[in-house]
Amino acid sequence: MLQVQNLSVSYGRASALHNVTMEVNEGEIVAVIGPNGAGKTTLLKAITGLLKAKEGTIRYKDNMITGTPAHKILGVGISHVPQGRQVFGDQSVEDNLILGAFSIKKEKQKIQELIEREYERFPRLKERRWQHAGTLSGGEQQMLAVSRALMSDPDFVILDEPSMGLSPIFVKQIFDTLLELKKSGKTVMVVEQLAMAALAISDRAYVLQVGEVKLHGQSQDLLRDDGLVKTYLGAASPN
C-alpha cells in the first residue's frame, strides 16, 4: 500500500533520514520504533508532505505522492495524527471533529453521523464536546487527535507516539483503538516509544536509529530478540 524508497531528508545541512526504504501492506499495523531523535517523526512528516524529501520516492496505492503538499494528503486517503496531539486548543472538541471532516465536505447529516461514531468510540469526548480542546487532559487530547484524524474515513492512518505522556489505562485504550481500526480494514502505521507494547500489537516493525533503518521484520520475531532493546532502543525503553 505504502512504499518508501531510498528516502533522505535533511534540515538545512543536518541530515535526519538517510536512505530509508520501508513499506506498509494493506491491512497491516506497522510499528516504527527507535530512540529519541532517530528520525521517526521526520519519516512520517516526509510521507504526509509536511517535510520535503531530499532524495527518494514515496508511493501510495501505485501513485507517486513524493512532494504532494500536506493539505492534499488526506485526499489520497492518508490521515496523520501528529506527535504531541496538536489539537486546535482554542476551539471546542466538536469543532475539532468538524475540522477533521473539512476535506470531505459532505452533507451536515453525514458529518453528524461521523461525529456520533467518534463519540461512541470515546464517550469522554462527548461529555466534553463544548469544552475548549486546550483544556482537555493529555489523554483526552490524544483521543480527540485520533478521532479528528478518523473523521475523514481514511484508509491509512499514521500515528506519531500516541502513547506519549499517557497513563497505562489511556495507553491501552489507544492501542485497542488501533486494533479495532485494523479489524475494520484500515491500515495503520504507528511510531512508538513503548517499543514492547508496539511490537505486541503490530504485525511488522522497523527499528530506526540515527536516521537509518537498522532492523525490520515480523514484530513477533523482534519481540523474541533479547538483544533488540539493549542494542537499539537504549536502556531508557520502558516495558
Partner 1 sequence: MDLTDVLKAIINGLVYGSVYAIIAQGYYITFITTKTMNFGQGDFVMLGSLIGLSTFTAITAAGMGVWIAFIASLLLVIVVVGISGWALEQVAIRPLRSWHSIGWILSTVAVAMIVRNVAMLIWGRDVLMAPSPFGRAILDLGILKIRYHEIFVLVGAAVIMLLLYVFLKKSLFGKALEAVAFNKDAASLMGINPRLMASIAFIIAGTLAGVGGVLVGPMVHPGAFIGLFLGLKAFAVAIIGGIENPRGIFIGGLLLGVSENLFALYSTSMKEAAAFFLILVILAVLPQGLFGKRVKEKF
Sheet containing 187-192: order of strands: 78-81, 156-160, 187-192, 29-33, 204-209, 212-218
Rounded Cα distance, 29 and 40, in Å: 16
Return the residues of window 92-111 that contact Mg ion according to CB under 5 A.
none
Query: Are 97 and 148 within 8 A, CB to CB?
Result: yes
End-to-end CA distance of the chain: 31
Q: Which of 4, 20, 22, 74 is in the footprint of partner 1 by CB under 8 A?
A: 74
- Residue span binding ligand ATP (CB under 6 A) among the ranges 33-41, 133-141, 166-174, 182-190: 33-41
Work out whether 219 is an interface residue with Mg ion (CB under 5 A): no
Return the residues of window 15-54 that contact Mg ion according to CB under 5 A.
40-41
φ/ψ of residue 14, rounded to 5? -80, 120
Give 97 or 188: the residue with its C-beta nearer to Mg ion: 188
**By rule CB under 8 A, what string of x and - marks binding of each residue 95-124 to partner 1?**
x--xxx-xx---------------------
Give 35 or 77: the residue with its C-beta nearer to ligand ATP: 35
Q: Which one, of 184, 182, 209, 183, lies nearest residue 195 by Cα?
A: 209
42, interface contact from partner 1, ligand ATP, Mg ion, none, CB < 5-8 Å by kind? ligand ATP
Q: Which of 55, 138, 153, 196 is in the footprint of partner 1 by CB under 8 A?
A: 138
Work out whether 70 is an interface residue with partner 1 (CB under 8 A): yes
Query: Which grid cell sits at 187?
Result: 491500515
Work out whether 182 is an interface residue with partner 1 (CB under 8 A): no
Work out whether 186 is an interface residue with partner 1 (CB under 8 A): no
Backbone conformation region of residue 61, classed left if phi is above 0, alpha if psi is from -120 to 50, else beta: left
Query: Are 208 and 32 within 8 A, CB to CB?
Result: yes
The single-letter code of the amino acid at 39 is G
Beta strand segments in the chain, E: 2-11, 14-24, 29-33, 55-60, 63-64, 78-81, 156-160, 187-192, 204-209, 212-218
- Residue span binding ligand ATP (CB under 6 A) among the ranges 32-40, 66-74, 119-127, 133-141: 32-40
Q: Which residues form the interface with ligand ATP (CB under 6 A)?
A: 11, 14, 16, 34, 36-42, 83
Q: Which residues form the interface with partner 1 (CB under 8 A)?
A: 48-50, 69-75, 79-80, 82, 84, 86-91, 95, 98-100, 102-103, 134, 138, 148-149, 152
